[in-house]
Amino acid sequence: MASSSNSAPPNHKFDPNFTRNVINATGPKASPRIRQVIGSAIQHLHDWARENEITVDEWMSGLELINEAGRMSNDRRNEGQLVCDVLGLESLVDEITYKLATSAADAPTATAILGPFWRADAPKRAMGETIVHGIEGGDHTLMHGVVTDYLTGAPVEGAELDVWHTAPNGLYEQQDPDQPDMNLRGRFTTGKDGRYSFYCLRPTSYPIPFDGPAGTLLQLLDRHPMRPAHIHFIVKAPGYKPIITQIFDRADKHITDDAVFAVKDSLIVDFKPLQGNDRAQFELPYNFRLATYDEAKGNDLKGATPASTAV
Amino acid sequence: MASSSNSAPPNHKFDPNFTRNVINATGPKASPRIRQVIGSAIQHLHDWARENEITVDEWMSGLELINEAGRMSNDRRNEGQLVCDVLGLESLVDEITYKLATSAADAPTATAILGPFWRADAPKRAMGETIVHGIEGGDHTLMHGVVTDYLTGAPVEGAELDVWHTAPNGLYEQQDPDQPDMNLRGRFTTGKDGRYSFYCLRPTSYPIPFDGPAGTLLQLLDRHPMRPAHIHFIVKAPGYKPIITQIFDRADKHITDDAVFAVKDSLIVDFKPLQGNDRAQFELPYNFRLATYDEAKGNDLKGATPASTAV
């Protein structure tokens, strides 16, 4: 029970045994990892409440925001994830999960958050095809490059690039009834040379959805909801650790203040004007470097598979 | 942007600037309280993630649990609140909100958590009536006492006791289609003598609902879902700070390991066998001591009104 504070040091304002009692209620059959992670969460949660003297009303307001995020979440939108993103948590666990012990310049391609808009089973397309359908305008871009083994430099055969980005109106296709299903998404598989190419749009910056709790939080924090223009990728190949990442347009005015804190220096790219191609006005060369499971293991590269992070 | 870690101390494993960058994104128009409370929450959340090296998969599992709690929450059930309760958070913010600077033995009645089962507009009943309807069996109890001003000892006129407890099957009426609406609930208002009395049941211990995320959490922590038998009260009177509390049956075997950590020594009571009353087998005398707003202010007694903590 939460005992009275007989054993409290004289200046201790709140029951000094309470948090230990809650943590110690954990039973002997809890897994060591659960005991550690949830025990630590209880300690931080309680320390936060005491340090800031959180009142019942404040706790209830925060709880209602979190409950509402859950209520809004479905297979097309994950508002709880968006709340985490605004607080920097997804970018942080991404860093923690994929951190390489090495800081070698030739490391595998850096990762960035999955975000809430990935969809499984994007259409498989032939190399060189476009992912743009039913869209007026936009800066068409030829993106191309090679997927290599980061240690040997050898091209990776059978690498699948799963790509997705927003339309010029700032909406992903599942947010926008006017776009064809699976628009601006595609999966491309490399041949022996490891090379890939496809047509997409030069993406636009856009606001994350701010009609729910994440928007409320941004408003309370006096922050904008804009993300710098970016293209999402999951790159995977047999025997290699999958990489979830995003690349960002250096010219975007929000490149230094992403609402979800996902930008990393090595993921900033330059779109180049393209001449003599009637299908595209820009070119974007970009290479992906993958690590095998053994290479990743040697470098403390932990990671989640895309399937298990599906939302 | 989340910059590379050029300025990292040599042994710092993760970007040492990241959390500061996220907190510093807060704009100038954020209220000082929001800046403090959410800034501190970001710091604790990030520290927790780094200290435990939380992976993307683990974060996603936790997030799905929290989203599911929101989806289950409606006007009859607040699963997010239940998750907080299991982690001791509601009892802690209750302590923080109502803590008296004084440790005087004649302090106002101690508080306990509201819990998720309070309903507004319980029926007003005449003094001495029963709140038990359509229930077979159970140990009928005559509860009675006086509501006083904690400083002067004077009886408080016009004090409303809002009472609720579970049926012998361990269910509150809104969880149980077989109970009449508003069963085992009632509001009683004191006259000039400050006295109250009503018939209720000697309550039974019961499990908190464990068919949702709170139950998942209890299972992961190898904990039981039982609460010791208790009766809930909100006591309010014109000019006095409302008190939200619970009283607990000393004979209950879960008196020392409440699943939601709400028991306080001063709220443990003894049910006494009652002779010569054909309406009840037990008697429970209990007095409530209220503080006026001025008295409460003088003692650092902060508090939420019941209306604003409604769920």
The tens-digit pLDDT sequence of chain B (311 residues) is 444 433 334 336 788 899 999 999 999 999 999 999 999 999 999 999 999 999 999 999 999 999 999 999 988 789 999 999 999 999 999 988 876 433 445 678 888 888 888 999 999 999 999 999 999 889 999 999 999 999 999 999 999 999 999 999 999 999 999 999 999 999 999 999 999 999 999 999 999 999 999 999 999 999 999 999 999 999 999 999 899 999 999 999 999 999 999 998 889 999 999 999 999 999 999 999 999 887 776 544 444 333 333 32
| Closest-CA residue to B50 (of B79, B113, B8, B7) | B8
Find chain B residues with C-beta within 8 A of A70's C-beta. 66-73, 80
- Decide: B121 and B262 in contact? Cβ < 8 Å: no
Place of tokens 């050029």: B6
Find chain A residues with C-beta within 8 A of B262's C-beta. 2
Place of tokens 């090595």: A266
**At CA B14, angle to CA A244 and CA A246, rounded to 5?**
20
Rg (alpha carbons) of chain A, rounded to whole number: 23
Q: Residues A138, A162, A170, B46: what is their CA dihedral angle, to the nearest 10 degrees?
A: -140
pTM over 0.90: no
Question: Among partner residues A36, A45, A309, which is closest to B87 by beta-carbon distance?
Answer: A45
* Domain ranges across chain A: 17-72, 79-308
| Closest-CA residue to B311 (of B123, B117, B160, B161) | B117
- Decide: A80 and A73 in contact? Cβ < 8 Å: yes
Find chain A residues with C-beta within 8 A of B264's C-beta. 1-4
| Nearest-CA distance B276 → chain A (Å) | 35
Is B2 in Cβ contact with A264 (below 8 Å)? yes
- Decide: B148 and B289 in contact? Cβ < 8 Å: yes
Interstrand relation of A195-201 and A185-189 (parallel, antiparallel or unpaired): unpaired
Q: Does domain B79-308 match CATH 2.60.130.10?
A: yes
The reply to whether ipTM tops 0.90 is no
| Nearest-CA distance B61 → chain A (Å) | 9
Question: Among partner residues A2, A18, A73, which is closest to B71 by beta-carbon distance?
Answer: A73
Backbone angles phi, psi at A77, to 5 degrees: -150, 135
Find chain A residues with C-beta within 8 A of B53's C-beta. 96
